[in-house]
Amino acid sequence: MSHLVTTRSTAVPAAPSGPRRPEGEPGGRGRLVEVVIPAYNEERVLAASVRRLHAYLSDTFPYLWRITVADNASTDATWRVAEELAAELPRVRAVHLDEKGRGRALRRVWSGSDADVVAYMDVDLSTDLDAFLPLVAPLISGHSDLAIGSRLSRGSAVVRGPRREVISRCYNLLLRTAMAARFSDAQCGFKAGRTEIVQALLPAVEDQEWFFDTELLLLAERTGLRIHEVPVDWVDDPDSRVDVWRTALDDLRGMARVGRRMLTGGFGAPVAGRSGARDRGAGPSRAGGELPAGMRRQLPVFAVIGLVSTVAQLVLFVLLRLVMGPLMANALSLVATTVANTAANRRFTFGVTGSHRALRHQIEGGLTFLLGLGLSTGGLALLHATVAAPSRWVEVAAMVAANAVATLARFLLMRAWIFHPRRLRGPRRPDAAERADAAPVQAGAAPAQGGAATEEAGR
């Protein structure tokens, strides 16, 4: 059998092109797992990483496996190295794409795979490979639909610099508070899924780059699928090609786009072949149906408004920092965005229109502003107390983390206090039947009392 399989295309093929699937063994050991390694300009580390992974799987992995190197438009010798590896090593193939994007590379391979389980790893193999079998075992058994490695769960061991640590924690905290995500680590490059599940979700995933797997996970939760998390040991690669700031902005745009799709009811995917209580067809997730009345509609609206407000506040903060200190810049940027945020949530999240009680709502919203101010100011003060001269991006990251916590508290306060239905209704207007029951026997008294009641209710 030939081990060199190369293609050069950006279109998704109708059928997989690759090595013929090996014959399986009884007892489930014949299940095939395909591991994709996306690579962009990785000529220096690709060969060593693929050989290391190949040796590890050959020696320890109990299931059938295949490694696919997905070169997505590299401009160095990555594609030549990938071809050489495919020619040299059994169960290795290489696929070339003419456009960049990790999501595009994974979509290209996963959509045409004939494996039972598809997975991917970052090319630097930062994650300890001993976590790979615990990652895919629940998928092979049918216990779970997707599986992710988590650097933020209990039991994980992580070695990385403070910049990536802060950004990662802020991003995942924002996902949990703004998008109601329940998984702990969206960015770890160590994920897997049952192939039929992944292929059913892929048409509904729009992103082609770094937000691709986050969107896939959000879609899986929205569809009611089970996501298994594995604590991992992870060591940062100092030679990473990731542009942190561009990736962060792309992630924020991706969250805003997914939030809009949630608002319009267009974020879902029909997934067949599920079993048990999870087999409920397409549509919102099981957890969505268990939310309190109204929250299922309110959460995505609040998330989008909160995301826009956060970006606006960060822009204002950076601009004000040019002329003033961090604490004053934080306070002024929060004041400006809180007024707009309260007004937007009043109108769009909780459906309150008109000027009635608008001033009171703004004053009460100002109290929630004090909560956000306290958290973000405390976070900045703690940062400056522990770091002598933090850079501007570290200040911004600390603010994002504090604001994410304040955002969740703000939503709960708005729902349970400021815009609680009982407070919004005020004195209830009696209906016609109640007025008739309460009317006195005297014929002349009824109209006057009914009018008084109407006037009182109007006040």
More confident residue, 312 or 106: 106
Domain assignment present for 2: no
Domain assignment present for 438: no
- 298 and 214, same domain (yes or no): no
pLDDT of residue 441 exceeding 80, the answer is no
φ, ψ for residue 66, nearest 5 deg = -150, 140
* Residue 140 CB coordination number (10 Å): 20
Most confident of 9-13, 190-194, 365-369, 374-378: 190-194
Task: Name which of 9-13, 305-309, 316-320, 412-416 the model is least confident about.
Answer: 9-13
Q: What is the predicted pLDDT for the residue at 299?
A: 77
- 269 and 295, same domain (yes or no): no
Q: Considering its fold, how many domains does the chain have in total? A: 2
Domain assignment present for 22: no
pLDDT of residue 296 exceeding 90, the answer is no
pLDDT of residue 168 exceeding 50, the answer is yes
- 201 and 341, same domain (yes or no): no
- 125 and 252, same domain (yes or no): yes
Give the whole-angstrom CA distance, residue 108 versus residue 122: 16
Domain assignment present for 19: no
Most confident of 89-93, 267-271, 308-312, 453-457: 89-93
Domain assignment present for 252: yes
- 377 and 335, same domain (yes or no): yes
Average pLDDT over residues 89-117: 96
- 268 and 348, same domain (yes or no): no
Record the tokens describing residue 39, joined without a space: 């690579």
Domain region containing 405? 291-425
Domain assignment present for 201: yes
Average pLDDT over residues 156-167: 81
CATH number of the domain that 38 lies in?
3.90.550.10
Predicted structure pTM score:
0.62
- 268 and 354, same domain (yes or no): no
- 213 and 95, same domain (yes or no): yes
- 177 and 298, same domain (yes or no): no
Q: What is the predicted pLDDT for the residue at 18?
A: 47
Domain assignment present for 341: yes
CA atoms within 13 A on the CB side of 249: 7
- Residue ending a domain, among 241, 276, 311, is 276
- 328 and 363, same domain (yes or no): yes
Q: What is the DSSP string of 188-231?
A: -SEEEEEHHHHHHHGGG----STTHHHHHHHHHHHHT--EEEEE
What percent of the chain clears pLDDT 90, i.e. is strictly above it?
A: 37
- 43 and 72, same domain (yes or no): yes
> Please, which pLDDT band fits residue 38 given cuts at 50, 70 and 90?
very high
- 224 and 369, same domain (yes or no): no
- Residue ending a domain, among 245, 276, 307, is 276
Give the whole-angstrom CA distance, residue 455 versus residue 35: 72
> Please, which pLDDT band fits residue 238 given cuts at 50, 70 and 90?
low
Q: What is the predicted pLDDT for the residue at 267?
A: 85
More confident residue, 389 or 434: 389
| Residues involved in catalysis | 213
Give the whole-angstrom CA distance, residue 264 versus residue 16: 34
> Please, which pLDDT band fits residue 176 given cuts at 50, 70 and 90?
confident
Domain assignment present for 441: no
